[in-house]
Amino acid sequence: MSEHRKKRYFGTDGIRGKVGESPITPEFILKLGWAIGRVMVRAGKDGILIGKDTRISGYMFESALQAGLSAAGVNIRLLGPMPTPGVAYLTRTLHAQAGIVISASHNPFYDNGIKFFSSEGAKLPDDIEFAIEDELDKPMVTVDSKDLGKARRIVDAAGRYIEFCKSTVPARINLSGVKVVVDCAHGATYHIAPNVFIELGATVIAIGNEPNGLNINLDCGSTKPKALQAAVVEHQADFGIALDGDGDRLIMVDHKGEEVDGDEILFIIAQSRRKTDSLVGSVVGTVMSNLGLEHALRESGVGFQRALVGDRYVMEILKREGWMIGGESSGHIMCLDRTTTGDGIVSALQVISAMFESDCTLHELKSGMKKYPQHLVNVPTEKSFDLAGSEVINQAIRDVEAELSDSGRVLLRPSGTEPVVRVMVEGIEIEQVTRLANQLAEVIVEVQKSN
């Protein structure tokens, strides 16, 4: 059964790594293009879109994917620089068999990766990913010359996506007189995001919109919003929008220069949907979502459920339950009543719509949710360390939970990318949560020493 197999290349969000190191090499990406082409041809369908962000290696991997797909007999449509959610949208509306994004999201320029979307604009199911990995084990064979795939460029891709983004808010919304700073992280939204808000009538100050292949996510964008905060204050803007390198994450800044993170954005969108009776079911966050979000939603009669960290897990619950709104503290927000995947521009537009409909500033809207202080400690651990199997650690957790009572929570989880255990304590008083997090971290260190 495929669910018991372990994937060799695919992670929770495609394949990602450092350029030049396996598997992110031209040779592998060529073979990967051929493998996905073989799987799609076997499915009896044709035509795959390729989009990319602005990192310099995108040119190399675009050519490699194109060659591999052509060798498998699959036609290719090239989108050029295009946000990840834009590729998802165009895959659906251009009736492509699949969409491929060359991006490492919020990572530095020296990383890259490959993400895939199905014909419905959703992440590929496990059985397709396993089938692609199976093809990678086979020798690469090129189809007859008459059957080679052809490539053409979609010249109006950006315009199509801009129009879609604007369509996700009511036509009556006019941003004339509104000043907004947009930080594109020198990434895939640099030629799209500013135009969306300009065409809605706003005065736009664009920053992070001069990609050179090496500066994507560099001291800018949703992972480092200080540049946006400073620009909003300097230009006396009404609010600011920070996207990441591939445009699927959003962090905002209010007119005072204060950050509005993914939890607060999720709260604002959910409250707006609730007030218009368009909220379907509960809201989905993750185990890292702030306790203040859960409490604020509960007080307004909205259910809340936590998923594991990762947009894939949030999406799984949303689809299983038939709910619409979910996301992560990092700003990966899903509005499935508007689109099929996390979309930074669309999420920003939903917040703007809430501001417009309520006649409130962003600062006023976010004030409806009180964030609880969190303290996170990363404790280095051996790979073989059994966190759950230690009764000493489990007792220490119970002791901390007893002290916090209902006004806080504890989370210990091994990192999926580093040899560390992440210890997070959340509560009302920052001094208390800091002390308790450090206390738990010391217990883990001592348990390791004694083993």
Q: What is the pLDDT of residues 91-104, one digit of tens each?
A: 999 999 999 999 99
At which residue do the structure tokens 């409909």 appear? Answer: 357
Same-domain pairing of 28 and 78:
yes
Structural domain contains residue 163: no
Structure confidence by residue, pLDDT tens digits, 60-92: 999 999 999 999 999 999 999 999 999 999 999
Structural domain contains residue 160: no
At 374 the pLDDT is 92
Same-domain pairing of 313 and 396:
no
Same-domain pairing of 150 and 37:
yes
Tell me the residue length of the chain: 451
Same-domain pairing of 107 and 22:
yes
Same-domain pairing of 24 and 119:
yes
Structure confidence by residue, pLDDT tens digits, 142-189: 999 999 999 999 999 999 999 999 999 999 999 999 999 999 999 999
CA 278 to centroid of chain Cα atoms: 24
Tell if the pTM clears 0.85, that is, is over it: yes
Question: What is the CATH classification number for the domain harbouring 408?
Answer: 3.30.310.50
Same-domain pairing of 14 and 110:
yes
Same-domain pairing of 150 and 6:
yes
3-state secondary structure of 262: helix
Same-domain pairing of 112 and 206:
no
Same-domain pairing of 141 and 40:
yes
At 1 the pLDDT is 39
66 vs 93: CA distance, rounded Å: 21
Structural domain contains residue 97: yes
Average pLDDT, the chain: 94
Given pLDDT bands bounded at 50, 70 and 90, which one contains residue 418? Answer: confident
Tell me what the mean pLDDT of segment 292-311 comes to: 94
Question: Of 225, 258, 291, at which residue does a domain stop?
Answer: 258
Tell me what the mean pLDDT of segment 192-204 comes to: 98
Question: What is the CATH classification number for the domain harbouring 17?
Answer: 3.40.120.10
Same-domain pairing of 38 and 24:
yes
* Domains contained in the chain, number: 4
Structure confidence by residue, pLDDT tens digits, 345-360: 999 999 999 999 999 9
Tell me what the mean pLDDT of segment 394-420 comes to: 88
At 390 the pLDDT is 87
The encoded tokens of residue 377 equal 């400690």
Structural domain contains residue 168: no
Burial 392-403 (b: 16+ CB within 10 A, else e): ebeebbeebeeb
Residues annotated catalytic, as ranges: 105
Tell me what the mean pLDDT of segment 402-430 comes to: 88
Structural domain contains residue 110: yes
At which residue do the structure tokens 């879609």 appear? Answer: 164
Question: Of 351, 371, 391, at which residue does a domain stop?
Answer: 371
Given pLDDT bands bounded at 50, 70 and 90, which one contains residue 42? Answer: low
Same-domain pairing of 72 and 143:
yes
Find the angle CA(400)-CA(405)-CA(411) to the nearest 5 degrees. 50
Residues spanned by the domain of 436:
374-450
Tell me what the mean pLDDT of segment 416-436 comes to: 90
At 443 the pLDDT is 94
Structural domain contains residue 161: no
Structure confidence by residue, pLDDT tens digits, 220-239: 999 999 999 999 999 999 99
Percentage of the chain lying above the pLDDT 90 cut: 87
At 45 the pLDDT is 58
DSSP string, 352-408: HHHHHHHT--HHHHHTTSPPPPEEEEEEE--TT--STT-HHHHHHHHHHHHHHGGG-
Strand order in the sheet with 409-414: 374-380, 420-426, 409-414
Structural domain contains residue 195: yes
- Closest to 117 measured CA to CA, from 387, 343, 384, 346: 343
User: 256-265, 336-345, 441-450 — which is least confidently predicted?
Assistant: 441-450
DSSP string, 110-175: TEEEEEEEETTSSBPPHHHHHHHHHHHTSPP-PPPGGG---EEE-TTHHHHHHHHHHHTS-TT---
Question: Of 203, 233, 258, at which residue does a domain stop?
Answer: 258
Same-domain pairing of 387 and 365:
no
Residue 202 has pLDDT above 80, yes or no: yes
Structural domain contains residue 130: yes
Given pLDDT bands bounded at 50, 70 and 90, which one contains residue 302? Answer: very high
